[in-house]
Amino acid sequence: MAYLISEDGRELLKDVKDFCENEIRAQVKEYDESGEWPKDIYDMAIEMQLSMMDVPEEYGGLGLSHIDQAAIVEEIAKADAGIAVTLNGNGLALKPVLIAGNEEQKQKCCDIIMNGGWGAFALTEPDAGCDAGNSKTTAVKEGGEYVINGRKCFITNAQVADFFVVTAMTDKTQGTKGMSAFLVYKGTPGLSVGNHENKMGIRTSITSDLILEDVRIPEENRLGEEGTGFYTAMKTLDLARMWCAVIGVGICQRCVDESAVYAQQRVTFGKPIWKHQAIQFMLADMEIRTQASRALCATAIDLADSGKPFTTEASAAKCFTGDSAVKNALDAIQIFGGYGYSREYPVEMLLRDAKIFQIFEGTNEVQRMVIGRAVVGSHKI
Ligand SMILES: Cc1cc2nc3c(=O)[nH]c(=O)nc-3n(C[C@H](O)[C@H](O)[C@H](O)COP(=O)(O)OP(=O)(O)OC[C@H]3O[C@@H](n4cnc5c(N)ncnc54)[C@H](O)[C@@H]3O)c2cc1C
């Protein structure tokens, strides 16, 4: 099942397919090995407005429907999940602004992205990952300013970002209700970025610490009311999980594509390996997981688009797709046999890339907690 995309979406998808084939796939192996940020590829993606897909039409964006966007994101993820994560990073940074920001803040951040800039969402800290409410970063009000101190870690796009959404405690006595969200712009004194993490996978994305030392920002940079930062972050993650799942589907599909071709080329015991039932069943299970993942994404997108609650569905899509991407990548390696274990072939990278989809934007344990609570909540006795 493909997403049912519009005519305009289909046109853009054709260009995206060419870009993926001729630029991303042609170069990605080299960048995966070096761990270098592929600026030339991102410059082309900006040119094609692929970093701007999350900007709403009323703020100058492309006006793509979420379904069209999903088809495009999956296509990019099929070519390279790290590039899809980076482009999606702009959406991750923009979502809290669109959820909680005022008109001026929304327009400013959208303009940055439409002009080829980048954003980053900085929630995680060394002692606050799954337990995001345990944030140690503080924002203290002094006159018309906030002074922010703390350290964020694993922040996607931090090294290239022009604006950051930073969460910080404005009142530690209130727990998660004492967290607020702020816009901090690149170049603000006291703001610095740590080293690029040398990651296992999605190596074409850039991930770094963000250090805030006496960072002074005007009160107007607060997103929403004081104390609403945790709520904004959780709402952001609902949407982000949906997109994370869409990227995961790209990995699932790539595993199927690579394996289906290889299984016809490789001959053992006088026949192509796909004719052995063990391999055929593995291919079938990979396809089932891919279709089921895509269907879960479509359900979450549909609910989000119609303004209905979709937290559980986004978590289910993220969790199932992350697990499926890892399983499909393992099966792809198995189908390739010894060659699957070699860096000369593409499938080992798919496993390294897939693993992060069980970890970021809320680990799959956290997703199961969210889903489990919702199931019990809807069956109150
Ligand atoms: C490549 C990459 C990019 C990232 N990008 C961003 C970003 O842009 N912005 C951002 O803010 N963050 C980002 N993150 C951070 C990411 O969201 C966190 O790493 C993730 O939420 C997990 O937090 P943690 O690493 O502190 O793990 P921990 O919270 O320490 O968890 C460790 C383990 O314990 C389990 N666990 C924890 N608590 C429970 C519980 N109550 N019940 C059951 N199991 C539990 C977890 O599931 C996990 O298996 C990124 C991380 C990576 C690796």
pLDDT digits (tens, 9 = 90+) for 35-64: 999 999 999 999 999 999 999 999 999 989
Fold of domain 7-114:
Butyryl-Coa Dehydrogenase, subunit A; domain 1 (1.10.540)
**How far, in Å, are 78, 298, 311, 367 from residue 353 at the CA level?**
11, 22, 25, 19
Ligand 1 centroid vs 211 CA: distance in angstroms? Answer: 18
First and final C-alpha spacing in the chain? 38
Q: At what angle do helices 66-79 and 7-19 cross, to 10 degrees?
A: 10
For ligand 1, is residue 20 a contact (CB within 6 Å)?
Answer: no
Residue of the CA atom closest to atom 32 of ligand 1:
130
* Site of tokens 């761990």: 35
Instruction: 293-297: list long-range contacts, CB under 8 Å, 24+ apart.
Output: 293/245, 293/248, 293/249, 293/252, 293/317, 293/320, 293/321, 293/324, 293/325, 294/1, 294/3, 294/74, 294/249, 295/1, 296/245, 296/320, 296/321, 297/70, 297/242, 297/245, 297/246, 297/249, 297/321
Q: What is the phi/psi pair of residue 114, to 5°?
A: -65, -25
Partners of 207 in the beta sheet? 156
State the closest ligand 1 atom to the C-alpha of 120, by its place in the atom list counted from 1: 8
Please tell me the total number of residues recorded for the chain in this structure.
Answer: 381
* Separation CA 164–CA 83 (nearest Å): 19
Q: Kindly report the average pLDDT of the chain as a whole number.
A: 97
Which atom number of ligand 1 is nearest to the Cα of residue 92?
8
pLDDT at 1: 47
**CATH architecture of the domain formed by 119-227:** Beta Barrel (2.40)
**Mean pLDDT on 20-37:** 96
Beta bridge partners of 147: 140, 216
Of 88, 127, 137, 154, best ligand 1 pocket probe by most atoms within 8 Å of the beta carbon: 154
Pocket test for ligand 1, best of 85, 136, 363 (most atoms within 8 A of CB): 363
Please tell me the pTM assigned to this model.
Answer: 0.97
pLDDT band of residue 2 (cuts 50, 70, 90) is low
Confirm or reject: Cβ of 357 under 6 Å from ligand 1. Answer: no
Give the angle 174-368-230 at the CA atoms, nearest 5°: 25
Q: Which of 121, 163, 352, 359 to mutate to test the pocket of ligand 1 (most atoms within 8 A of CB)?
A: 359
92 pLDDT band, cuts 50/70/90, is: very high
- Render pLDDT for 280-327 as a digit per residue (tens, 0 to 9): 999 999 999 999 999 999 999 999 999 999 999 999 999 999 999 999
Same fold for the pair 7-114 and 119-227: no
Domain ranges of the chain: 7-114, 119-227, 231-376
Q: Is the CB of 164 under 6 A from ligand 1?
A: no
Atom of ligand 1 nearest to the CA of 366: 47
Atom of ligand 1 nearest to the CA of 123: 11
- Provide mean pLDDT across the span 157-165: 98
Q: What is the DSSP string of 303-337?
A: HHHTT---HHHHHHHHHHHHHHHHHHHHHHHHHHG
Could you tell me which CATH number the domain at 231-376 has?
A: 1.20.140.10
Q: pLDDT for 210-245, tens place per residue?
A: 999 999 999 999 999 999 999 999 999 999 999 999
Whose tokens are 């069209």? That residue is 68
Residue 97: what pLDDT? 98
50, two tokens:
């692929």
Answer whether 224's CB lies under 8 Å from 244's CB. no
Ligand 1 neighbourhood includes 199 CB (under 6 angstroms): yes
199 alpha carbon – ligand 1 mean position (Å): 15
Helix (H, G, I), strand (E, B) or coil at 119: strand
Cα 353 to ligand 1 centroid, rounded to whole Å: 16
pLDDT of residue 260: 98
